[in-house]
Amino acid sequence: MDSQDFTIKNLGECKFRSPLNISGQKGPGLKGYISDEQRVLTSMQGRSGDTIDRQSSFEVAGPREKIFFKPAYTKAAIVTCGGLCPGINCVIRSLVAQLYAQYGIKNIVGFRFGYQGFNPIYNHDIVQLEPSNVQSIHREAGTFLGSSRGAESPSVIVDRLEAEGISMLFAIGGDGTLRAAHKIALEIEKRNLEIVIMGIPKTIDNDIKFVYRTFGFDSAVEEVRRVLDVASAEAKGAPNGIGLVKVMGRDAGFIAAHAAIASRDVDFVLIPEFPFDLAGEMGLMMQLEKTLQKKGHCIIIVSEGAGQDIMGGPKNETDKSGNVRYNDIGVFLRDKINDHCKSRNIEINLKYIEPSYTIRSILPNANDAIFCDHLSRYAVHAAMAGKTDMVVGLWHNVFTHVPISAATSGKKRIIGNSTLFFSMLETSGQPHPMKNTDGQLSTGDKKVEVNGLTPADAA
Q: Is the pLDDT of residue 449 over 70?
A: no
Cα–Cα distances (Å) from 209 to 28, 54, 409, in that order, read 21, 17, 7
> In terms of domains, do 195 and 290 share one?
no
Mean pLDDT of 307-322: 77
Q: Which helix (H) or strand (E) holds 383?
A: helix 366-384
The answer to whether residues 27 and 147 belong to one domain is: yes
Between these two residues, 425 and 22, which has the higher pLDDT value? Answer: 425
Stretch 40-50: mean pLDDT: 63
**Residue 374 or 452, more confident:** 374
Give the pLDDT confidence of 404-414 residue by residue, as tens digits. 999 999 999 99
| pLDDT confidence of residue 357 | 85
Q: How confident is the model at residue 92 (pLDDT cuts 50, 70, 90)?
A: very high
Mean pLDDT of 127-150: 92
Q: Is the link from the previous residue into 71 a cis peptide, with omega within 30 of 0? A: no
Report the alpha-carbon distance of residue 409 to residue 284 in Å, rounded.
33
Residues 18, 167: one domain? yes
Domain encompassing residue 82: 9-214+364-407
Report pLDDT for 56. 76
E-strand spans in 288-332? 297-303
Confidence label for 446 from pLDDT (cuts 50, 70 and 90)? very low
At 356, is the pLDDT very low, low, confident or very high (cuts 50, 70, 90)?
A: confident
| pLDDT at 29 (0 to 100) | 65
Let me know if residue 452 belongs to a domain: no
* 301 and 209 inside one domain: no
Distance CA 123, CA 116 (A): 9
| SS3 state at 256 | helix
Q: Does some domain include residue 207? A: yes
Report the catalytic residues: 205
Average pLDDT over residues 190-205: 96
Q: Kindly report the average pLDDT of the chain as a whole number.
A: 89
The per-residue pLDDT for 12 is 95
Over residues 220-248, the pLDDT tens digits come to 999 999 999 999 999 999 999 999 999 99
Using H for helix, E for strand and C for coil, what is the string for 72-106? HHCEEEEEECCCCCCCHHHHHHHHHHHHHHHCCCC
Same domain for 300 and 395, yes or no, is: no
Q: How many domains, the chain?
A: 2
Alpha-carbon distances of 321 from 4, 128, 161, 317, 424, rounded to whole Å: 25, 27, 22, 11, 31
Domain presence at residue 165: yes
Q: What is the pLDDT, as a whole number, of residue 445? A: 38
Mean pLDDT on 418-428: 94
Q: How many residues does the chain have?
A: 459
Q: Which residues contact 105 (CB under 8 A, 6 or more apart)?
A: 71, 74, 75, 76, 99
Percent of the chain with pLDDT over 90: 79
Mean pLDDT of 342-358: 94
Residue 147 has pLDDT above 50, yes or no: yes
In this prediction, residue 43 carries a pLDDT of: 76
pLDDT given for residue 325 in this prediction: 81
* Strand runs labelled E in 182-239: 196-201
**Is pLDDT of 457 > 50?**
no
Is residue 458 included in any domain, yes or no? Answer: no
User: Of 175, 221, 203, nearest to 367 (Cα)?
Assistant: 221
The reply to whether 161 and 274 lie within a common domain is: no
In this prediction, residue 26 has a pLDDT band, given cuts at 50, 70 and 90, of low
**Residue 31: pLDDT band by 50, 70, 90 thresholds?**
confident
For residues 340 and 196, give the distance between their C-alpha atoms in angstroms, rounded to a whole number: 57
Answer yes or no: do 328 and 373 share one domain.
no
Regarding whether 441 and 312 lie in a shared domain, the answer is yes
Please list the residues that pair with 108 across neighbouring strands: 76, 129
pLDDT of residue 44: 60
Tell me 313's DSSP state: S
Task: Please tell me which residue, 42 or 36, carries the higher pLDDT value.
Answer: 36
Is 201 part of any domain? yes
317 shares a domain with 246: yes
Q: How many CB atoms lie within 10 A of CB 359?
A: 24
Where on the phi/psi map is residue 394: left (φ > 0), alpha (ψ -120 to 50), or beta?
Answer: beta
Confidence of residue 312 (pLDDT cuts 50, 70, 90): confident
- Range 76-101 average pLDDT: 96
- What is the rounded CA–CA span in Å between residue 127 and residue 388? 23
Give CA–CA dist 64/35, Å, rounded. Answer: 7
Grade residue 45 by pLDDT with cuts at 50, 70 and 90: low
Output the domain CATH number for residue 389. 3.40.50.450
Q: What digits encode the pLDDT tens for the residues 106-117?
A: 999 999 999 999
Residue 200 reports pLDDT greater than 90: yes
**pLDDT digits over 358-408, tens only?**
899 899 999 999 999 999 999 999 999 999 999 999 999 999 999 999 999
What pLDDT score was predicted for residue 223?
Answer: 96
Q: Tell me how far apart the alpha carbons of residues 196 and 388 are, in angstroms, rounded to a whole number.
A: 5
Q: What is the pLDDT of residue 54?
A: 61
457 within domain boundaries: no
Domain CATH for 226: 3.40.50.460
Confidence (pTM) = 0.89
Mean pLDDT of 85-95: 96
- Are residues 113 and 41 part of one domain? yes
Q: Say if 229 falls within a structural domain.
A: yes
210 and 221 in a single domain? The answer is no
pLDDT given at position 412: 94
DSSP structure class, residue 453:
-
By the 8 A CB rule, do 128 and 109 touch? yes
> Are residues 94 and 145 located together in one domain of the fold?
yes
pLDDT at 190: 97
183 vs 189: CA distance, rounded Å: 10
| pLDDT-derived band at 48, boundaries 50, 70, 90 | very low
Say how far apart CA 224 and CA 89 lie, in whole Å: 21
With contact defined as beta carbons under 8 Å apart, do 176 and 322 qualify? Answer: yes
Confidence of residue 3 (pLDDT cuts 50, 70, 90): low
- Asked, for residue 62, whether it belongs to a domain, the answer is yes
125-131, long-range: CB < 8 A, 24+ apart: 126/164, 129/78, 129/92, 129/96, 130/96, 130/100, 130/106, 131/96, 131/97, 131/100, 131/101
